[in-house]
Amino acid sequence: MNVLFHVDQSTLWPMVTANVKNMLDYGKAEGISFTIEVVANGEAVTDLSLEAPWLPRLQALAEDGVRVAACENALRAHGVKKEDLHGFVTTVPAGVVELALKQQEGYAYIKP
């Protein structure tokens, strides 16, 4: 099952990381394979270059195969440089385009 999480507010990161972890744990327990991508745009991209209490959980999820992608348009708008992002974060040219493309590919869309 392919799942797409959309984060556009800084306050949502703890909930998103908990949701993704719960989904992966459920999948392991039930024998369901998930492909998960988290797309950040808006103000949420600013948190991907900082230290935050939830960041180790997000990094662990990335190490478990979750793709974490930041919108390059939002990075520019908020003055965040790609090289300042944590190493597990990838970028996409436009977050809204990534969201649309993944949904067209059949990803389930979740926005906490």
pLDDT in tens, 33-92: 999 999 999 999 999 998 888 999 999 999 999 999 999 999 999 999 999 999 999 999
What is the model's pLDDT at position 51?
85
What is the model's pLDDT at position 32?
97
Mean pLDDT of 16-43: 98
Helices (H), the chain: 13-30, 55-63, 72-77, 95-104
Q: Where are the domains of the chain?
A: 2-110
One of 3.30.200.20, 3.40.50.20, 3.40.1260.10, 3.90.226.10 is the CATH number of 2-110, namely 3.40.1260.10
Burial of 25 (0-12, 13-18, 19+ CB in 10 A): exposed
pTM score: 0.96
Contact 35, 1 (CB under 8 A): yes
Residue whose entry in the numeric block shows the structure tokens 């392919």: 2
